[in-house]
Amino acid sequence: MKCSDFTLLFAEDNPSIRKIYEKNFVREGYQVLLAEHGARAMAELYEQKVDLLVTDLMMPGMNTLELFPILKKDFPRLPVIVVSGHYVSEKEDFLLKGYDVKAFFNKPVGVRELSEKIREILKIGPVAPDLSGKKD
């Protein structure tokens, strides 16, 4: 399988981080959906097939902490990666509640590190080296 076979949903309230996700993961070939809060993320999940969710925890409106019971019930096979500055004390709580979180990252997380974890979870080969000489 290749990146273009997968749709990633990024739930993140920071517009700069959403733009970084979009730019980098579209460039890798993924279909990318963006949500600025938990309610928008839920709408995207119900509207189309999503293969992996990358989410912040603390967002305005419906934050993703409220999202996890719904994910467990309605999308039990959806792999989730949490990228947050608030996860350290939450990790054990997630596991105890039976939430299937595949990875936790502290902000800021490097795009390459996140990409490698996404590829691992989706069983896609490693990132090809950038031979163009361009800097990000």
pLDDT digits (tens, 9 = 90+) for 80-105: 998 887 655 666 777 777 777 888 88
Q: What is the pTM of this model?
A: 0.86
pLDDT of 12 > 50? The answer is: yes
- Neighbour-count burial for 115-135, b at 16+ CB within 10 Å, e otherwise: bebbbebbebeeeeeeeeeee
pLDDT at 135: 47
Contact 124, 6 (CB under 8 A): yes
Cα atoms in the 13 Å half-sphere on the side-chain side of 23: 9
The pLDDT tens digits of the residues spanning 25-38 come to 999 999 999 999 88
DSSP H or E run through 105: strand 101-106
Alpha-carbon distance values, 109 to 2, 25, 48, 81 (Å): 23, 14, 27, 12
SS3 33: strand
**Percent of the chain scoring above 90 in pLDDT:** 48
pLDDT of 58 > 80? The answer is: no
Handedness of CA 38, 28, 115, 85 (dihedral sign): negative
pLDDT of 131 > 70? The answer is: no
pLDDT at 128: 59
pLDDT at 133: 47
| Greater pLDDT, 54 or 133 | 54
